[in-house]
Amino acid sequence: MNDYTISSHFLLRRLHSLLGLLPVGAFLMFHLWENSKSRYGMEYYNQEVVAALQQMNYLVLFEIFFIALPLLFHAGYGLIILRSGSAELKRYPWLHNHFYWLQRVSGVGILIFLLMHVSMTRIWGLWDTQISADLYSHMQQTLGNPAFLLFYLLGLLLSVFHLGNGLWTMGIVWGLTVSASAQRFSFICCMAFSGLLLAMGLQGLWGFLA
């Protein structure tokens, strides 16, 4: 056996980190971008966004192998990391240690949010064709409920934070930002990126409510 061996945990951590960016993070960016088109109204959104996606060849296979399975692995292994880690906030009350804890807590919150969101849209739409035909009205009705609106706002906030902070952590773990100054600059850029995604997501929600 070679003296230099890489543990399965190391490889799984790297795979978990990589899938958090591609394809999971990339899909989040795309999803927020397409939902931001709700500002153009019901007819445009249903025809140019929803119907266009439904006409894609092998859409179901794409959703399973490039979205669902990577997301399930990222979420599942994230729960394993959550169980094995400890932030010790009282002992180490630093900003990034709080973010270390928030990263893991936000992952659990996002998982709950996604289960609800996918169930209410994609899965429910398999039985109720009216949802897939007029997703705009379905989302408008859903977000018209203050409880669901708050739920979606929280899900959006957790998602953009998780991606932005995950990108910052990824830069350190993968050796892209080694020095303290590089990490500070990277943190500012990643949080600004999260802010842009949040603004795009809020625009999408507002488009359904307008």
Write the CB contacts of 184 (distance below 8 Å, at least 6 apart in sequence). Answer: none
Express each pLDDT in 103-133 by its tens digit: 999 999 999 999 999 999 999 988 898 998 9
Express each pLDDT in 169-185 by its tens digit: 999 999 999 999 999 99
The pTM assigned to this predicted structure is 0.92
Write the CB contacts of 45 (distance below 8 Å, at least 6 apart in sequence). Answer: 37, 38, 135, 136, 207
Three-state DSSP class for 1?
coil
Classify domain 8-85+96-209 by CATH architecture. Up-down Bundle (1.20)
Assigned token pair, 144? 């018209």
Distance (Å, whole) CA 180 – CA 27: 30
Distance (Å, whole) CA 126 – CA 118: 11
- Spell out the domain ranges in the chain: 8-85+96-209
Mean pLDDT score of the chain = 92
